[in-house]
Amino acid sequence: MTKILIIYTGGTIGMVNDPNNGMLIPFNFEQIKENVPELSRLDYELDVHSFNPVLDSSNMDPEIWKTLAELIYNRYDFYDGFVILHGSDTMAFTASALSFMLEDLGKAVILTGSQLPIGEIRTDAKENLITALEIAATKENGKSLFPEVCIYFDSQLFRGNRSIKYNSEKFEAFRSPNYPVLAEAGVHMQFNTNYVMKAPKDKLTLHTKFNSNIGVLKLYPGITPQAVTAITDSKVDAIILEAFGSGNTTTAQWFLDALRQAILSGKIIIDISQCKKGSVHLGRYETSRELLKMGIISGYDLTFESAVTKLMFVLGLGLPLEQSRKLMDESLRGELTKD
């Protein structure tokens, strides 16, 4: 029988109304089949691991990512797939982080959640949970059809490190602006396997050391030297530069000097676009030519969530600076597309 491990971290999906006071409280996921009777029609053996206490996803951090990754790694041989129930606010960060932590992943790890609690009449929770389980269990020739970390939400399956949360009010909460969806659940399941990661040849490797000492510099017209140097002169190890369009910045000399000094001090700077769709092309315009010359790394079409977690992961490897810079410029888990 197919065995799936459900890991419940918290979030809206696991909430029900307390009949005594009407407040939302977590339900006991050990009795998941009682709360979602439709699951009994799936021919799976389901085990549940619940966080205690459960967490609002706003409190997610690298230590919790480590706990999740270790759970999957330690139970990897006992299950055919994994479903993580997670609050939607930071789901894309967790999915991106896990993709880097679980190298040569050969089984599906599907994150899902909901916009309405599972006890609500109009909830999206049941469909998201049931279909995430079906996808996690799907195999071809005895191997998982989706050997990667994914997010399933509102009938669509996305690569985890390509996903963003873009809407807090609609069931369609997530999008993958720069990569095709991996599957769509309509009347029939449509699997777009051409876009799925290839099954690994090596055994699963676990990485748990993250360095979160990074800064974020988001540009805007009129940004001041004080605002810029507060980041570039700080004691961070790396900086994400959220630039305009295809990676462009102001050409003011004071600004370029601040970035150059940060690089000379040993900081990694990666340039990503403020645009949700599209890619960074350093050197295409005069406004980014100097960035390329001074050694700023192109983030190509990385999402912000993936840029943050990839930097944490690469810095955590403790490699020499040039090796770290090289890894940031490469696609490690399908997180970016180089032109």
Do the beta carbons of residue 32 and residue 6 sit within 8 Å? Answer: yes
Q: Whole-prediction pTM value? A: 0.95
Is residue 337 annotated as a catalytic residue, yes or no? no
Cα angle value 336/160/281 (rounded, 5°)? 20
Do the beta carbons of residue 104 and residue 204 sit within 8 Å? Answer: yes
Do the beta carbons of residue 225 and residue 258 sit within 8 Å? Answer: yes
Q: Residue 133 in 3-state DSSP?
A: helix
Do the beta carbons of residue 133 and residue 44 sit within 8 Å? Answer: yes
**Active-site pick, 2, 9, 12, 138:** 12
**pLDDT, one tens digit for every residue, the chain (339 residues):** 899 999 999 888 887 777 788 777 777 766 666 778 888 888 899 999 999 888 889 999 999 999 999 999 999 999 999 999 999 999 999 999 999 999 999 999 999 999 988 878 888 989 999 999 999 999 999 999 999 999 999 999 999 999 999 999 899 999 999 999 999 999 899 999 999 999 999 999 999 999 999 999 999 999 999 999 999 999 999 999 999 999 999 999 999 999 999 999 999 999 999 999 999 999 888 778 899 999 999 999 999 999 999 999 999 999 999 999 999 999 999 999 997
β-strand partners of 24: 17
**Residue 203 dihedral angles phi and psi, to the nearest 5°:** -75, 155
178-194 burial, b at 16+ Cβ within 10 Å, e below that, comes to bbebbbebeeeeebeee
